[in-house]
Structure 1
């Protein structure tokens, strides 16, 4: 027996989901190609204070990784990271886009050193925070860029891969 609707009842289908919700679901399944090994205590001593158990990578090992940078005095400074989902879309934490204006943020990609002059740089068109963001809950956001990154099927710049199963 088919389900009957009553007056005022809403029907939700996958097509009714906002694009943001679909993007968040896809982003939840992003697959990183290999697990990151743990750092030793001596390695932690030589790392910057805010990187925990990190390791140096070669160009192309994390081709989806981007740097969010904002103007500080006379230079751009890294303040958060993100993952490239498509040529104009970046997944990041909502707290990274909470207290900044779009025009004050630059997204850089295709590098492993922050000062790399060959990195691609794009400006932000819009920020989209999860509608129920309340730190630390739902700490996820999207960035729409004004211009697409130039992607490659080889390193150093590709979108994050999503597993099919």
Structure 2
């Protein structure tokens, strides 16, 4: 298992960094993109279509808006995968009133046991202002705790800003 956590702000280049790293690792084979986003409106549908077009047909797409630990656990040893993104997954859990702590524990366990090469992409939301609402503060706190746990489990951690990756671990 080799897991890499890739953190960064919105439009920081974190997804592209993970995608290119996975493409280099897979060579001429097919990489897997495990996606957590859902197209609830036209704008999100356009974003998803743009991401799919950017990846091209050489990628296998697995949709896991809630069942992310199961999707990671199902990866075979020879797989190269990118999970994009953990903060959308966390939002899906919270909006469906699911047990975030249990799901986070299951994800950390799945990543730790995963025999595949996997990049985990997530938005670092703890660098800005304290959110105004209780839900916003809970989301920020849950994301921070999830990132800390995954950073401990990961072999590598990168922070991406302005398209430039900084290796942290």
Q: Give me the TM-score of the superposition, normalised by structure 2.
A: 0.30
| Bigger share in helix | 2
